[in-house]
Structure 1
């Protein structure tokens, strides 16, 4: 998606009463959210910057091409975690070698912690989500080459 289109979408969201907008074009998607203040005349100056940064990051991530067979995709909707507990070490790190069937992350769905296993052996070359991120079904989580 073109950065000019993204900026135009940000302006449209700010000018309207909507608080969230999500658009999908092919494999690319963009989601804009804004906080609603108590008084309509007061607007947080950081909203635009946060939205632009978020959309630019999402656009860059969607433009980065990975081979389909190297992507670990989410099997469910939920919350992504790299470690089993807040104070525990992450299950995987960038550059770490993993074996097929080895747990690499956790997705919490309906208050159940589901361990996600590596579909094949390889090296973790990219983490596409951060702990605490909400993930959708079939969303790429990490790259294992």
Structure 2
């Protein structure tokens, strides 16, 4: 796909206020996702410092830390159907430990804990389509 077509897709996203677009031409495909300047929360949240690109953003809230989705995709709690989930409520996790997977464009992207703590709540269901910035896990340090 040539750069002119990609620029046209970007212009289309801006003009129509689209959050995401995916186009396939034969065996080529491209997906563009607009990132919000910062995740939106219904509680008083403060964005954490930038994390590595493979990590989900973290927000501090009154009841602990919340890992949020770094991209749009499908959330999976385990690496394969029928296997045990990566984490369960009450489990202690270490920074860098895999919490789940987001599938985007047939690529499996691990969601890693950005800090250590105890998982208090899993906020999404296995197989659920998630949005950028959506809270996924809540845990306390």
The interval holding the TM-score normalised by the smaller chain is: 0.5 to 0.7
Residue 102 of structure 1 corresponds to: 97
Return the index of the structure with the highest Cα Rg. Answer: 1
- Once residues 96 and 109 of structure 2 are traced to their aligned partners in structure 1, the CA distance between those partners, rounded to angstroms, is 13
Match of 2:132 among 115, 137, 145: 137
- Once residues 137 and 120 of structure 1 are traced to their aligned partners in structure 2, the CA distance between those partners, rounded to angstroms, is 20
**Superimposed CA distance per residue, residues 68-107 of structure 1 (whole angstroms, 9 cap, x where no aligned partner):** 8600000000001110000111000000000000001100
Residue 44 of structure 1 corresponds to: none
- Once residues 69 and 89 of structure 1 are traced to their aligned partners in structure 2, the CA distance between those partners, rounded to angstroms, is 25
Alpha-carbon RMSD: 2.0
Residue 66 of structure 2 corresponds to: 71
Match of 1:127 among 119, 122, 126: 122
Residue 10 of structure 1 corresponds to: none
Higher helix share: 1
- Once residues 83 and 125 of structure 1 are traced to their aligned partners in structure 2, the CA distance between those partners, rounded to angstroms, is 18
Deviation at 1:67, TM superposition (A): 3.5
Deviation at 1:118, TM superposition (A): 0.2
* Change in 2 beyond 3 A, CA 1:27/1:144: closer
- Once residues 27 and 70 of structure 1 are traced to their aligned partners in structure 2, the CA distance between those partners, rounded to angstroms, is 12
Higher strand share: 2
Calculate the TM-score normalised by the size of structure 2: 0.55
Match runs of 1:1-145 below 5 Å: 27=41, 66-67=61-62, 70-145=65-140
* Structure 1 residue ranges, 4+ long, deviating more than 3 angstroms after superposition: 66-69
Calculate the TM-score normalised by the size of structure 1: 0.54
Structure 1: gaps of 5 or more residues: 1-25, 29-65
